[in-house]
Amino acid sequence: MFIITTLAYLIFGVSRYCDNLRYGPTGALQFIDLEYENLTSLLSEGYDIEASYAFALDDFFPGVPGEIGLRYMGTNYVANTTDDGVTATNNAGSNTGSTPDWVHRFTARYSLDSWTFNLTGRGHSDGVISNNYIECATNCPVSVAPNFTINDNKIDGEFFFDAYVSKKFAMGGSNSEVFLSVKNLFDTDPVLYALPANQGSENRAAYLPTNRGLMDVLGRNIRLGMRYEF
């Protein structure tokens, strides 16, 4: 009984789980209580930064028409910790998740009468594949979950640019707009990364080894459309 109880403590690391082992009058283990329990907690911490400024070009360049609008939005992730009651893992700074150190978005707009021109830059900072991984080439420790060893744990950040042009006009007594949108203007490739050899899966070959939430995997995307109010 002592051995089984001790084993339960060593596996789960929580002494009260030992009470889930139920013994009979002779001291033999009869059954184990398997009860539902919400063990996992998630803590997110970070800072959002936003700044915007709009001005008429005539204020600085007399006689030049139009208006400029500038806007920056950034997020700095400090912590994104998942705690299952045994192991706490901070995913902030991991570019395979959704919380790299920094996420940036900058927009520049030029408006002239019924015309609008937008240029947007969006991207994120460098990061790692996992904060748990151990980067090493020689004298590596034993590779065990979650602290797998890997040759290169770094993932480069990336920046993408989008362009947008629109023209407003009246049609049939209603407001209309025709627009051209180009996403990933310079056809920038996503950053690829390699996982440790023991982190494969049977369908991994069907997917690019990249973060599809942070990266643009479609390449340059062009849309031409029209909006009509009625």
**pLDDT value of residue 226:** 92
Q: Give the model's pLDDT for residue 14.
A: 59
Dump pLDDT digits (tens) for 81-130.
888 777 777 888 888 888 899 999 999 999 999 999 999 999 999 999 88
Tell me, what's the pLDDT at 197?
60
pLDDT tens column, 159-192: 999 999 999 998 877 889 999 999 999 999 999 8
Q: So what's the pLDDT on residue 206?
A: 67
User: pLDDT over 90 for what percent of the chain?
Assistant: 45
What pTM did the predictor assign?
0.74
Full 3-state SS string of the chain: CHHHHHHHHHHHCCHHHHHHEEECCCCCEEEECCCCCCCCEEEEEEEEEEEEEEEEHHHHCCCCCCEEEEEEEEEEEEEEEEECCCCEEECCCECCCCECCEEEEEEEEEEECCEEEEEEEEEECCEECCCCCEECCCCCCCCECCECEECCCEECCEEEEEEEEEEEEEECCEEEEEEEEEECCCCCCCCCCCCCCCCCCCCHHHCCCCCCCCCCCCCCEEEEEEEECC
Q: Is the pLDDT reported for residue 1 higher than 50?
A: no
